[in-house]
C-alpha cells in the first residue's frame, strides 16, 4: 500500500477525510523527518509506514477533542506530535508546541515554514518554567503524549488550562490502570477512551479530564 493510501485510509477510520493539500503536507512532513532524523534524533522509527501509523495516525486519535477555534497546548511535543498532525487537519484551531530541546523546536519551525502552517507557534522552554512566556489559564485543551507519570503531567498541565478547558492524556495500554491507581482531588474524569491506532494493533488510551 502506498504511503498516501495508508495515511488516507487510516484517517478515514478516525472520521477524517483528508483533502489533497493535507495529504501533501503530511508527506512533506514525513520527508522532513527523514532528512532531519539523522541529525537530531527525532524518532527511533525509521520505516516510513511505521512513522505514518505510530506518529501521524496516533496523533490524530485525539482529533475529535480539538474543536474548531480551540486554543491547544502540546507539552513535550518532540518532533511535533501530536501538535503538527492536528494542526494540519484543523486549520481553525491555534496550537502552541512546547519542548525543552531547542533543536527540536528549530526542526518544527522548518516544518511550519515548508508546510505553510499559520496556526502553530513554538516555544523552546520547560513547562515548569514560570518565565517561559506562555500565558497561564489560556488553553481550551492541553495535550500530552506519554510524557512522564500522570501526577507530574497534571502538575505541568494545570497552570495553562482555562477554566472550562480539558486535559487530554495520551497513554499506552496501561493507561486505565494508571488513572485508577492515581489519587486525584483536583480534576474530574470526563471519560476514558480506548482505541486501536488505525492499521495497527497498538492500543491508545485517552484520558479526558476537566477541573472539578
- Does residue 142 carry a pLDDT above 80? yes
pLDDT digits (tens, 9 = 90+) for 23-50: 999 999 999 999 999 889 899 999 999 9
The whole-number average pLDDT for the span 176-183 is 90
Q: Supply the pTM of this predicted model.
A: 0.96
Asked whether the beta carbons of 96 and 73 are under 8 A apart, the reply is yes
What pLDDT does residue 184 have? 78
What pLDDT does residue 18 have? 97
Asked whether the beta carbons of 138 and 160 are under 8 A apart, the reply is yes
How far is 157 from 166, CA to CA, in rounded Å?
A: 10
Number of other CB atoms surrounding residue 128 within 10 Å: 11
Burial 149-180 (b: 16+ CB within 10 A, else e): ebeebbebbbbbbeeebbbbbbbeeebeebbe
Domains of the chain by residue range: 3-211
The whole-number average pLDDT for the span 147-175 is 93
Average per-residue pLDDT in the chain? 95
What pLDDT does residue 174 have? 93
How far is 5 from 186, CA to CA, in rounded Å?
A: 43
- Does residue 1 carry a pLDDT above 90? no
Domain formed by 3-211, architecture: 3-Layer(aba) Sandwich (3.40)
What pLDDT does residue 123 have? 98
Amino acid at each position: 500500500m502506498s504511503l498516501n493510501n495508508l495515511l488516507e485510509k487510516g484517517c478515514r477510520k478516525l472520521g477524517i477525510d483528508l483533502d489533497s493539500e493535507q495529504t501533501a503536507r503530511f508527506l512533506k512532513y514525513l520527508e522532513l523527518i527523514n532528512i532531519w532524523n539523522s541529525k537530531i534524533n527525532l524518532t527511533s522509527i525509521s520505516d516510513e509506514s511505521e512513522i505514518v501509523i505510530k506518529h501521524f495516525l496516533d496523533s490524530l486519535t485525539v482529533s475529535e477533542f480539538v474543536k474548531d477555534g480551540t486554543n491547544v497546548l502540546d507539552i513535550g511535543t518532540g518532533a511535533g506530535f501530536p501538535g503538527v498532525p492536528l494542526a494540519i487537519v484543523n486549520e481553525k484551531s491555534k496550537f502552541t508546541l512546547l519542548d525543552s530541546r531547542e533543536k527540536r523546536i528549530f526542526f518544527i519551525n522548518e516544518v511550519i515554514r515548508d508546510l505553510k502552517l499559520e496556526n502553530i507557534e513554538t516555544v523552546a522552554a520547560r513547562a515548569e518554567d514560570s518565565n517561559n512566556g506562555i500565558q497561564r489559564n489560556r488553553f481550551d485543551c492541553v495535550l500530552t503524549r506519554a510524557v512522564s507519570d500522570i501526577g507530574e503531567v497534571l502538575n505541568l498541565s494545570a497552570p495553562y488550562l482555562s477554566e472550562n478547558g480539558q486535559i487530554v492524556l495520551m497513554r499506552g495500554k496501561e493507561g486505565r490502570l494508571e488513572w485508577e491507581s492515581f489519587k486525584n482531588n483536583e480534576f474530574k474524569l470526563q471519560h476514558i477512551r480506548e482505541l486501536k491506532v488505525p492499521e495497527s494493533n497498538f492500543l491508545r488510551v485517552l484520558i479526558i479530564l476537566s477541573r472539578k
